[in-house]
Amino acid sequence: MKSNILVVDDEPVARQSLSDILKLEGYVVSAVSNGQAAVEHVRTHAVDIMIVDLKMPGMDGLEVIQVVNQTSPETEIILLTAHASIESATQALRLRIHDYLLKPASPPQILASVKKGLSRRTSKSRVSAVASASDNAQDIYTLKDGTSVDLSRRQIKFKTKVEHLTPAEGRLLRILMENEGKVFSHRELVLLVQGYDTSQQEAPEILRPLVSRLRHKLEAFPSLSEKVVSVRGTGYLYEGGG
């Protein structure tokens, strides 16, 4: 399915050139010339990415972002500005934007930012779906050899052996066990377990120590010791059958 992008810029040439760049890449592009029109469009259409100019007459980019954050929180936002300032950058970041680009941004810069924004949006949608499913998930798993995994108490038992998990270890194991066989990217797991978004480069470094500690604890249980599996260059999955 093609992604929907909204371009918001009061300069006709900038608006047209941005639209053309994105259309050539196969995106479905709409363009409007002011903040009010942008807000109306987002209220009535699905928008995956909004690229908005900071300085516009009437409703400026930051005001547009505030409204869109309320009406369509899943829309990823790229802010364009010809007049960079620490103040506007700080305000923009506080308003939960995906990226902040200086005008005139080059086509490769714009396309790279859009691609990253769509990837982030997909990750967040998947995280929301997993979180919703977790609300109705079971808390206790009993494996074939009698090992008991109590996710609500973060406790694993086998015969006389008992191991307790930290909150983060427990969340990680719950996500993987509840989605047996599903591969999660490093970035998705950081968002689900730690609660914040990070880059694809940073996520493996953040996750590695946590996975290592969890695996160390699982080693004491034969039916769990090989279950948290690395998928090279991607992330992790839980292999069932135990």
pLDDT tens digits for 138-156? 788 999 899 999 988 999 9
Least reliable range by pLDDT among 45-54, 83-92, 229-238: 83-92
Provide, rounded to the nearest whole percent, the portion of the chain with pLDDT above 70: 88
Res. 99 pLDDT band, cuts 50 70 90: confident
Number of other CB atoms surrounding residue 51 within 10 Å:
29
Do residues 65 and 88 lie in contact, with contact meaning Cβ atoms separated by under 8 Å? no
Domains of the chain, CATH where assigned: 4-130 (3.40.50.2300), 137-238 (1.10.10.10)
The residue that leads in pLDDT, 85 or 28, is: 28
Percent with pLDDT over 90 in the chain: 52
Q: Are strands 235-238 and 184-185 parallel, antiparallel or unpaired?
A: antiparallel
- Whether the per-residue pLDDT at 91 is higher than 70: the answer is no
DSSP code per residue over 121-160: HHHHHHHHHHHHHHTT--SEEE-TTS-EEETTTTEEEETT
User: Mean pLDDT, to the nearest integer, of 107-134?
Assistant: 78
> If pLDDT is split at 50, 70 and 90, which confidence band does 187 have?
confident
Nearest to 51 by CA among 126, 115, 134, 128: 115
Whether 56 shows a pLDDT value over 80: the answer reads: yes
Closest-CA residue to 98 (of 108, 113, 83): 113
Task: Give me the mean pLDDT over the 173-179 stretch.
Answer: 90
Separation between Cα atoms, residue 19 and residue 31, nearest integer Å: 7
Q: Give SS3 for 233.
A: coil
Confidence of residue 116 (pLDDT cuts 50, 70, 90): confident
Question: What distance in Å separates the CA atoms of residue 42 and residue 67, rounded to the nearest whole number?
Answer: 10
